[in-house]
């Protein structure tokens, strides 16, 4: 799920503090790493700032998933070099891992390169760079980063916690197994300690993160059990997890979505992000997905059997090498059939070093673009229809902050939809970070609108 955010800044840097600017690209796991990186640099005297201009250290926490992501990195590097010529430029994240020392060649202003598993070594890399040497570390030390990083700071009522990293699936189009390494799960006790620290800072909604989060398994504890103990932490009202692979969906996990009276997890939100990538078995086979369209649909049916209103979202790739018009039509049909509440869709991007990049019959950019537009039209209609079904309902909303509109706040529904609502005579500042009830009056193509229910 790609999102781009500038990291939240918790306070103005005190006089004498050095200034750290972090930009995270790509998925939520990078956002999490970016936050922990800022926490790591705090004791080193670095305060997070919102603007790159004037920064002493700029860290670009990169994504390598599609070619565009790399292009953006190199254009940003040029821009930051001009904006903050005094700053030490560091490239972390998945492109750091994938390109390594090549980044120094492409942009000599970069002084530090590291990967997603070595962020904890940034202070040592920085000392080296301050001595005028180029510093690089793209090792894969298992779990070292989680052991070495300080307890995270919270920036609101919702937080991400990475519980699993890496991927052993090797879908033929994907760089993640190479950039994040093999699948590895954190001990449940470490995760619990982190969630407790977040809850103590006011976090109520926790999203457990992993490239294959439902492959989580440590000392016999699986994801369903982990969600249960995380939900039992005092103060935690909502638990979600992302991203799942169809093949790691266990009966226990499906059962966790059931109502509490039927043994389900009362804190687990009715939201399930389950990427499928394509609606054609032949494309799925070429992608090495190791599942079929039917096995995917069976999982969704099983979850809906215990929790009919569960919001399903997914990821799609169009224009995979050799994708015929007929295969593409099967993807459109699947997208229309599932009733997605949200979905991410991408044009296939050949990535150096992945098997699919060497397949014959690469599609031209125009075909890919047209197919993407056609798929997005179907998915957008699905999202708008799903949003409309909530009109008239009263929903629990976790309030995140002020909305763009005056006299409105914004928050998230249990199904992970954005909700903007008017708060009447209530004190908006007192509502931020709280769970409130909102009467939904209208919907937009992607969100809900309502008013505080009293």
**Position with the least CB separation from ligand F3S:** 26
Q: What CA–CA distance (Å, rounded) separates 41 from 373?
A: 42
Binding of ligand SAH by 351 (CB under 6 A): yes
Please, what is the minimum distance in Å from the beta carbon of residue 165 to ligand SF4?
10
In this chain, which of 116, 166, 264, 275 binds ligand SAH, going by CB under 6 A?
A: 275
Binding of ligand SF4 by 245 (CB under 6 A): yes
Please, what is the minimum distance in Å from the beta carbon of residue 442 to ligand SF4?
36
- Range in contact with ligand SAH (rule: CB under 6 A) among 137-145, 172-180, 365-373, 406-414: 172-180
Q: Are 214 and 249 a contacting pair, CB within 8 Å? A: yes
Binding of ligand F3S by 242 (CB under 6 A): no
Beta carbons within 10 angstroms of residue 8's beta carbon: 13
Please, what is the minimum distance in Å from the beta carbon of residue 375 to ligand F3S?
20
- Range in contact with ligand F3S (rule: CB under 6 A) among 22-30, 212-220, 261-269, 382-390: 22-30
Q: Are 200 and 215 a contacting pair, CB within 8 Å? A: no
By beta-carbon proximity to ligand F3S, the closer residue of 176 and 236 is: 176
Please, what is the minimum distance in Å from the beta carbon of residue 349 to ligand F3S?
11
Please, which residues have CB within 8 angstroms of residue 429's CB and are 6 or more apart in sequence?
Answer: none
Question: Which stretch of DSSP H or E encloses residue 428?
Answer: helix 428-431
Binding of ligand SAH by 348 (CB under 6 A): yes
Cα torsion 99, 183, 72, 109 to 10°: value is -40
Q: What CA–CA distance (Å, rounded) separates 297 from 318?
A: 19
> Could you identify the residue written with the tokens 């990186």?
37
Q: Are 38 and 19 a contacting pair, CB within 8 Å? A: no
- Interface map 218-257 toward ligand SAH (x if CB under 6 A): -------------------------x-x------------
- Range in contact with ligand F3S (rule: CB under 6 A) among 4-12, 21-29, 295-303, 310-318: 21-29
Size of the site for ligand SF4 (CB under 6 A): 10
Please list every residue from 160 through 199 that binds ligand F3S, using CB under 6 A. Answer: 175-176, 179-180
- Strand positions, DSSP E, 93-237: 110-114, 135-137, 158-162, 164-165, 184-185, 205-209, 217-218, 221-222
In this chain, which of 91, 163, 176, 375 binds ligand SAH, going by CB under 6 A?
A: 176
Binding of ligand F3S by 94 (CB under 6 A): yes
Binding of ligand F3S by 64 (CB under 6 A): yes
- The phi, psi pair for 91, rounded to 5°, reads -115, 115
Size of the site for ligand SAH (CB under 6 A): 18
Q: What CA–CA distance (Å, rounded) separates 401 from 19?
A: 26
Q: Which residue stretches of 287-389 are H helix?
A: 293-306, 325-338, 365-388
Please, what is the minimum distance in Å from the beta carbon of residue 1 to ligand SAH?
7
Please, what is the minimum distance in Å from the beta carbon of residue 1 to ligand SF4?
11
Share in percent of the chain as helix, strand, coil (round to 5) = 35, 25, 40
Q: Are 292 and 284 a contacting pair, CB within 8 Å? A: yes
Binding of ligand SAH by 173 (CB under 6 A): yes
Q: Are 448 and 395 a contacting pair, CB within 8 Å? A: yes
Q: What CA–CA distance (Å, rounded) separates 363 from 346?
A: 14
> Could you identify the residue written with the tokens 């989060």?
213
Please list every residue from 139 through 178 that binds ligand SF4, using CB under 6 A. Answer: 167, 169-171, 174, 176-177
Please, what is the minimum distance in Å from the beta carbon of residue 211 to ligand SF4?
4
Residues lying near ligand SAH in the complex (CB under 6 A): 65-66, 167, 173-174, 176, 211-212, 243, 245, 275, 277, 315, 317, 346, 348-349, 351
| Residues at the site binding ligand SF4, with contacts judged by CB under 6 A | 167, 169-171, 174, 176-177, 211-212, 245
- Residues lying near ligand F3S in the complex (CB under 6 A) are found at 26-27, 29-30, 63-65, 93-94, 175-176, 179-180
């Amino acid at each position: 799920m790609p999102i781009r955010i500038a990291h939240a800044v918790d306070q103005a840097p005190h006089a004498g503090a050095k200034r750290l600017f972090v930009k995270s690209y790509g998925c939520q796991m990078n956002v999490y790493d970016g936050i922990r990186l800022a926490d790591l640099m705090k004791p080193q005297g670095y305060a997070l700032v919102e603007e790159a201009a004037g920064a002493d250290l700029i860290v670009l926490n990169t994504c390598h998933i599609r070619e565009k992501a790399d292009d953006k990195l190199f254009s940003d590097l040029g821009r930051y070099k001009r904006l903050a010529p005094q700053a030490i430029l560091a490239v972390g994240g998945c492109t750091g891992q994938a390109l390594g020392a090549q980044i120094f060649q492409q942009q000599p202003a970069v002084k530090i390169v590291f990967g997603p598993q070595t962020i904890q070594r940034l202070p040592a890399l920085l000392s080296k760079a301050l001595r005028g040497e180029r510093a690089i570390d793209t090792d894969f030390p298992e779990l070292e980063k989680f052991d070495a990083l300080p307890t995270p700071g919270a920036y609101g009522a919702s937080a991400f916690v990475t519980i699993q990293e890496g991927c052993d699936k090797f879908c033929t189009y994907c760089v993640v197994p190479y950039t994040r390494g093999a699948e590895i799960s954190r001990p449940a006790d470490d995760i619990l300690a982190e969630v407790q620290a977040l809850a103590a800072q006011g976090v109520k909604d926790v999203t457990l993160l992993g490239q294959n989060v439902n492959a989580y398994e440590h000392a016999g504890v699986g994801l369903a059990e982990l969600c249960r103990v995380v939900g039992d932490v005092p103060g935690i009202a909502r638990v979600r997890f992302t991203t799942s692979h169809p093949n790691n969906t266990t009966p226990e996990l499906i059962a966790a979505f059931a109502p509490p009276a039927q043994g389900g997890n009362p804190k687990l939100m009715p939201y399930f992000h389950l990427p499928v990538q394509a609606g054609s078995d032949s494309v799925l086979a070429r992608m090495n997905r190791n599942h079929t369209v039917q096995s995917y649909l069976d999982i969704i049916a099983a979850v809906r059997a215990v929790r009919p209103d569960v919001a399903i979202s997914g990821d799609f790739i169009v224009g995979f090498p050799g994708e015929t018009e007929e295969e593409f039509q099967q993807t459109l049909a699947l997208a229309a059939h599932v009733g997605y509440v949200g979905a991410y869709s991408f044009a296939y991007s050949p990535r150096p070093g992945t098997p699919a990049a060497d397949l014959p019959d690469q599609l031209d950019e125009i075909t890919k673009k047209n197919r993407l537009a056609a798929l997005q039209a179907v998915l957008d209609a699905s999202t708008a229809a799903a949003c409309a079904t909530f009109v008239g309902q009263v929903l629990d909303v976790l309030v995140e902050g002020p909305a763009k509109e005056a006299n409105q706040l914004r928050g998230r529904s249990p199904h992970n939809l954005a909700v903007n609502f008017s708060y009447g005579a209530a004190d908006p500042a007192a509502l931020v970070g709280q769970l409130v009830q909102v009467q939904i009056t209208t919907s937009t193509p992607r969100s809900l609108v309502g008013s505080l229910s009293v």
